[in-house]
Amino acid sequence: MPLCHISLRAGKPESYRQAIFNQLARAMHETFNVPEDDQFMAITEHEAASFRFSTTYLGVARSADIVYIQITANNTRSIEQKKALFRRIAELLAYQPGIRPEDVFVNLVEVEKENWSLGNGLAQYA
């Protein structure tokens, strides 16, 4: 039950944002075994003055098209699954909507399964 927060510079068309949603869901389905109907994502757009990033940190040449993707998920995946997820997200976003792999910044936040309530005030996984 990943929860995804995506941040990017303002000004991209709806089709671009929808492609991010679609490709991110596909990558999680393929590498993290997330069900196809398990899609909880939000995009936040920022004006240039409110969006900062390093263009060179760790030798990665980033552009103003950088996209931050923060995924909160259960702490049940292996390191190999995490590596596969990061790689697949970059591959799919390069294909559509055309984001350079250098501009795909992913942060995975892992939590215990009992830390979720998916509605009705219940702890469904506890």
Domain membership of residue 121 (yes or no) is no
pLDDT at 43: 98
pTM: 0.95
Candidate list 2, 13, 35, 101, residue with the active-site label: 2
pLDDT number for residue 125: 87
Residues 102 and 61 sit within 8 Å (Cβ to Cβ): yes
- Whether residue 13 lies in the annotated active site: no
- The bridge status of strand 104-111 relative to strand 67-74 is parallel
- Map residue 25 onto helix, strand or coil: helix
pLDDT in tens, 21-76: 999 999 999 999 999 999 999 999 999 999 999 999 999 999 999 999 999 999 99
Q: How many other C-beta atoms lie within 10 A of the C-beta of residue 42?
A: 10
Which CATH number do you get for residue 87? 3.30.429.10
pLDDT score for 111: 96
| 8-state DSSP, 43 | E
When divided into structural domains, the chain yields a total of: 1
